[in-house]
Amino acid sequence: MMRTVLKNTREVFHYFANKVQSEGRCGNVSFNGRLAYSYRAVIGKHFPDGIALSDARYSVTTSSHQSGLGYACQHLRRNFRFLYCQ
């Protein structure tokens, strides 16, 4: 059975980066399908040939989440970034 409430934000980012499961969350960090969120802001998106991480500037907490996601995704091909995404 898949756990959707994960232990911590590191686990959320790891599961998202490695596509361990289709959704998960912990506190204000979550992912659903191809999108990763900090609060309600999209901070990451999977594409067929890599991943995009948001370059938008946010609060201190969301900036920390962006950094954590970037660390979890460092093994993936990241050849594009986005400012805003739906």
Interval 25-80: pLDDT, tens? 999 999 999 999 999 999 999 988 888 998 888 899 999 999 999 999 998 877 56
pLDDT at 86: 46
Q: What is the pTM of this model?
A: 0.88
Domain that holds residue 25: 9-82
Q: Is 2 exposed, middle or buried (0-12, 13-18, 19+ CB in 10 A)?
A: exposed
Count: domains in the chain: 1
pLDDT, tens digit, for every residue of 2-14?
Answer: 889 999 999 999 9
The verdict on residue 2 lying in a domain is: no
How many other β-carbons are positioned within 10 Å of the β-carbon of residue 20? 12
Residue 77 lies in a domain: yes
Report which of 59, 60, 55, 53 is spatially closest to residue 13, judged by C-alpha positions: 53
More reliable by pLDDT, 24 or 50: 24
